[in-house]
Amino acid sequence: MHHAIVLAEPAPLAEVSLDWREVETPEPSEGQLRIRVAGCGVCRSNLHMIEGDWVGGGLPAFTPIVPGHEVTGIVDAVGAGVEGFQVGDRVGTQPLWWTCEECEHCLGGREQYCARRITAGERVDGGYAEYMLSTAAHTYRVPPELDLVAAAPLFCPGITAYTAVSSLGLRRGERVAVFGLGGVGHMAVQFAALAGAEVTAVARNPSHLEAAGELGATTLVDVTDDDAVAALRGTMDAAVLFAPSDAVARTARASVRLGGRIVSGVNADFGTIRFAEGKSYSGSLLGSRAAMHEVLALAAAGRIRTVVEEFPLREAREALDRLARGEIRSRGVLRMMDDAETRPRVARRDGSRASQQHR
């Protein structure tokens, strides 16, 4: 048996039954690993599922269910037929828990669009738990330079931001605006800066803007400041949208020059697409395994970092409440292991440790 946070039935956060309790510890089947969880990020999409926003789309697929999909930990048991992993390995998994490996998306390196994909914490039990099963084919080694808890958000905000920003093909010196600076946005700022772009960060939350400034944004815009927002009009080569707001989507669209490009990681209404503006719009979901390896390599080299606020597993509800109220600076992460077990195994070449905020 082990402890997990169990969602009984989706409901508004104030009423939902989301209890810390003992559950059966599962055995890994063929091709699976059992992970002793170190950290699991608290994602806005967890909040959507918990509150019932996705019931119409069939999620969660069953109840009671353990949420959570940006997970790191240590391999605890190895199922039959698994090669390349052994007990004691430091690993992580992204929301993509399983894919079919035979459709055009899986074969084309875009497996995140597999129609049969299984997402952790939505169609199988996820990482708000002391133990979780993973599919070995969708499990990654966490580089020894990284703390396991700080690394957890690389597996959802990290990969999501990396794929979205990469899709813009930013050139050195181009101007890009990032709208929405929560978990994903704070990573997007860094990938855009890494590409050599001049980054403008746009958000409502002052602490999010401050973090964006520390992570490489050179211009910070308060989205509630009408004059500052009006001044953005037509000035950007590209925009990245992670704020789930139609009003912000339209602001993002207006900020981009004629012929500019916009990528969105949320559902939003940009208004009528005017062909004569020549702007291109695209959507971006998570990222492939190949991209995930690139994100981990960039983090190990100290080129990007996560900013996390930690909570004990039992306080998942508190973390979700704070996320709903906009009080998490960048990413909340549930911690299930002592620091001694999660800390980096080697120093980075520059001798520094990953940045991490303890509450």
| Contact pattern from residue 33 through residue 72 relative to Zn ion, giving x for each residue in contact according to CB under 5 A and a dash for the rest | ----------x--------------------------x--
Asked if 150 interacts with Zn ion (CB under 5 A), we say no
Asked if 118 interacts with Zn ion (CB under 5 A), we say no
Asked if 100 interacts with Zn ion (CB under 5 A), we say yes
The DSSP code sequence of 39-77 is EEEE-HHHHHHHTTTTGGGT-SSSSSB-----EEEEEEE
Asked if 286 interacts with Zn ion (CB under 5 A), we say no
Measured between alpha carbons, how far is 191 from 134 in angstroms, rounded to an integer? 28
Asked if 106 interacts with Zn ion (CB under 5 A), we say yes
Range in contact with Zn ion (rule: CB under 5 A) among 93-101, 196-204, 288-296, 307-315: 93-101
User: Which H or E element spans position 310?
Assistant: strand 308-312
Range in contact with Zn ion (rule: CB under 5 A) among 11-19, 151-159, 189-197, 204-212: 151-159
Binder of Zn ion out of 11, 13, 103, 137 (CB under 5 A): 103
Determine whether 166 is exposed, middle or buried from the number of CB atoms within 10 Å of its CB (0-12, 13-18, 19+).
middle
Helix axes 157-167, 289-300, angle to 10 degrees: 110
156 vs 232, beta carbon nearer Zn ion = 156
Asked if 114 interacts with Zn ion (CB under 5 A), we say yes
**Do β-strands 140-141 and 90-93 pair in parallel, antiparallel, or remain unpaired?**
antiparallel
H helices present in the chain, as ranges: 44-50, 104-107, 148-151, 157-167, 183-194, 206-214, 226-232, 246-255, 289-300, 316-324, 339-342
156 vs 221, beta carbon nearer Zn ion = 156
| Smallest separation (angstroms) from Zn ion to the CB of 117 | 7
Q: Which among 173, 154, 129 is positioned nearest to 294, based on CA atoms?
A: 154
Asked if 156 interacts with Zn ion (CB under 5 A), we say yes
| Contact pattern from residue 1 through residue 40 relative to Zn ion, giving x for each residue in contact according to CB under 5 A and a dash for the rest | ----------------------------------------
The footprint of Zn ion (CB under 5 A) covers 43, 70, 99-100, 103, 106, 114, 156
